[in-house]
Structure 1
Amino acid sequence: MKSCSHKRKIKSIAALAACCLFVSAGTGVFPSFAHTPDESRFLNGTWEKDDHGWWFANKGNPAYFTSTWAEYQGYSYYFGADGYLVTGWNYINNHWYRFNPEKGSHEGAMMTGWIFDPDYNGWFYTNPSGILVTGWNKIGGEWYYFNPDSDGTMGLMAVNQVIDGYYVNSDGKMNEPWTVTCIGAFEIIKRDWNQTA
């Protein structure tokens, strides 16, 4: 009885060692798409880049990944309808997302938080899920206003203007201790609550 139990232990240890070896070899050779619903789809293929951008070539399968999300080393990516990783602003499932347009190791990675876009010379903000925010949002204890209109500048942070009766400064922060009084059609006077008239 004792030798039978000993043999089972040895077989169990050998099986465990083989599994560990297989797993470590697999993670060393193939990229990890841990959050992808079916990561096995990335095991038989290679990343390719051409003049248009990055795409994934499946070995033995001529189909490209299209219109789907992928996670790689903690970053989220999206394959467009043409099979290429998207960059810049993209509208996906009724939401706007920003993907890193810069060349390099994180090209195409979904961006979150504060984003300066030189094309608009202004700031945008995307939530932790990468979705562009609009309207009033409290971020880091401060209120900011982001354009909610689909006018080509949706999500652009408002600066130096009055929104809903509140003044937002050059940093986009709502100045709560200020009141705004309009004189005539265009002239605006800002007065601190603590000032005397």
Structure 2
Amino acid sequence: MEQIFYWTDLAGVAVFAISGTLLAFRKHMDGFGVIVLASVTAIGGGTLRDLILGLPVFWTTDPTYLYCILAVAVLTIIWLRFKAYIPITTLLVADAVGVAFFATMGAQKTLMAGFSPFIAVVMGTISACFGGMIRDVLARDIPMVLKGELYATTCVVGASAYVIVMQWNAVAALSVGMLATLLLRLTAIRYRWSLPVFQEHQDGSL
């Protein structure tokens, strides 16, 4: 079971590294910029999670995560050499897959550390959202979490699904949590689902 969680976590890091590399390509960054964006996207959320929970930061105890980021970034750059343009949809889908991995794995790691289910949902959401927020800020974009379509909400739903199903079966919980997050996020992108927002009245008041 630990091996399943470990390889799933590495897969999430890889997908988010691809997401960061794709955005760096769209922003015409140099090689250093690519590595920075790929790294903060892949490990930013998990780093904040571990710091808040008082745990050893995961990539400092296992540098395999860093090797994975470098390898994925290089492979993605090589692939991009043959692409003249990357549609924004490709970036959105890659980000959605990364969010699905990290919302679930963030919740899983928090539960395994002995924290309550509620804190697990919060940490799962932070794990999934924070790396992308740093990526977008560094790229001078409005963070996806602040845009119209559902983003953090999908992480809350996925992490909650994981916590609930975890009471019966760990493998099923992993699958349900990821699928719930991914499907809800992709559907929100497709149909532009968003939460209600405050509207300004004609007299200028809220």
TM-score (norm 2): 0.21
**Which structure is richer in relative contact order (CA contacts within 8 A, separation 6 or more)?**
2
The structure with the greater share of residues assigned to helix is 2
The structure with the greater share of residues assigned to strand is 1
Structure with the greater alpha carbon radius of gyration: 1
